[in-house]
Amino acid sequence: MSAHRLPTDTDNGLLLIISGPSGVGKTTITRGVERSIPGAVFSVSATTRARTPVDVEGVDYHFVTDEEFERMKAAGEFLESAGIYGKKYGTPIGPVDEQLRRGRLVILEIDVQGAIQVKAKMPKAFGVYILPPSDEELLRRLQDRKREDASKIQQRFNAAKAEIAAAKSCNVYDLFLTNDNLDKTIKAAVDRVTSERARRAGR
């Protein structure tokens, strides 16, 4: 049974995956794309991590217990899920399906491993990977965040380089964008996604 159609519903739903290494600016780009495309929605992940004072339930994450997360996973309710630093994260499949049926652009900001899981279940998903201008610039950005000591930063840098290599070889991403200018990168992503939706709708 199809969901009741709203006046704003269209037929060009698209699942957009945005990935990139830590420090590359992907969250800013994701939010920029979301703001620039009418009807775009950001997919909210479920997580077992503790809620901080600035977190908003249902906007930043759906906060669940470990038991609830495992129940959802066992019931096949996640498009993808992962454990990161002892915490679990997953993309609930229900809201994604619902918004795609409504013709929305649904944006997932996930890592390469998550993107591989999503693409296996939803081969029509469109993948965008954000690259740093250079290794040196990526290292500088990680250092500029001043969140961690030198050994931690080096760890993140090595992990980022490994992730970029994985992204290039996994055949999940349709577009690689180098973020050397934020506004330009957002515009390039918006232009390509807009033309992809039009192409699929046969316009």
User: Tokens in use for 92?
Assistant: 């609930």
* Strands ordered across the beta sheet of 126-131: 40-42, 105-109, 14-19, 126-131, 175-178
- Rounded distance, CA 189 to CA 184, Å? 9
Name the CA dihedral angle for 183, 184, 189, 193, rounded to a multiple of 10 degrees: 100
Query: Residues in the chain, how many?
Result: 203
Quote the mean pLDDT of the chain: 91
* Closest C-alpha to 106, from 28, 10, 177, 174: 10
50-105 confidence digits (pLDDT tens) = 999 999 998 889 999 999 999 999 999 999 999 877 899 999 999 999 999 999 99
* Closest C-alpha to 160, from 127, 112, 118, 114: 112
Domain ranges of the chain: 14-197
HSE at residue 88, side-chain half, CA atoms within 13 A, is 18
Question: What DSSP element (H or E) covers 188?
Answer: helix 182-200
Fill in the DSSP letter of residue 104. Answer: -
Kindly state the average pLDDT of the residues 105-134. Answer: 95
The band of 1, judged by pLDDT with boundaries at 50, 70 and 90, is very low
The band of 110, judged by pLDDT with boundaries at 50, 70 and 90, is very high
163-174 b/e with 16+ CB inside 10 Å = b?
Answer: bbebbeeeebbe
User: Which residues does residue 131 pair with via DSSP β-bridges, in sequence order?
Assistant: 178
> Is it true that domain 14-197 has CATH number 3.40.50.300?
yes
User: Tokens in use for 112?
Assistant: 């390469």
Residue 58: Cβ-neighbour burial (10 angstroms; 0-12, 13-18, 19+): exposed
